[in-house]
Amino acid sequence: MSENRNSRSCQQPSLLQPCTEGCDGSLLLDSTSSFESEKNARVNLNSVRGFEVVDQIKAEVDRVCGRPVVSCPDILAVAARDSVVAVKIYNTTNIDPAFAKEHRATCPRVGGNTNLAPFDPTPARFDTAYFQNLVKKRGLFTSDQALFNGGSTDKLVKTYSLNPEAFWDDFAKSMIKMGNIKLLTGKKGQIRVNCRKLN
């Protein structure tokens, strides 16, 4: 991202996308004579932007893959994810200073686009270290650390950090719920060629 503002702008569309039957990236659509885009909704005016970043990423991914194989919402999610790390380690006070310093070495302000950083200290294991890190103000993403920041989810994060069995039980239930979501696949769904308009 060439400017810090785009970083925050790419995060917002990702968080606003409805995903009840698979994300459709509808916020990316431009208005037409018969369709009023969500971009123009009062709540989104002067708030969501950075759409040209999504366009550029989509064009490059489609070029490398030889055809459209990655959905617009997936591209938006990855752009938002990647942009939020830099914002947090350089501009947020709700982070352990030693943790931020460690990640600045991996994620410099300029360059380092191919560098990788694990989400938690146990990247090869599926465990509750993620929640333990949030309690220590070591959440890699701002949106993650918001889960433990004096709000309504603090109690749940603390519970999961201390009681892995509670997490496993809730995780199993949520996976069953997600498995019941009816995604649009095959001829029922589509990957847009251009994120700004319907195929």
Question: Which residue is it, tokens 């090869």?
Answer: 124
pLDDT category at 24 given cuts 50, 70, 90 is low
Task: Label residue 22 left, alpha or beta by phi (over 0 means left) and psi (-120 to 50 means alpha).
Answer: left
Tell me what percent of the residues of the chain surpass a pLDDT of 70: 83
Alpha carbon distance 56, 60 (integer Å): 6
Structure tokens belonging to residue 32: 């037409």
Specify the 3-state DSSP secondary structure of 162: helix
Identity of the amino acid at 51:
F
Alpha carbon distance 119, 20 (integer Å): 26
Question: Which residue is it, tokens 């109690």?
Answer: 155
Tell me what percent of the residues of the chain surpass a pLDDT of 90: 28
Structure tokens belonging to residue 20: 């009840």
Identity of the amino acid at 76:
L
Average pLDDT value for residue range 167-173: 95
pLDDT category at 99 given cuts 50, 70, 90 is very high
Specify the 3-state DSSP secondary structure of 64: helix
Residue 4 confidence (pLDDT): 45
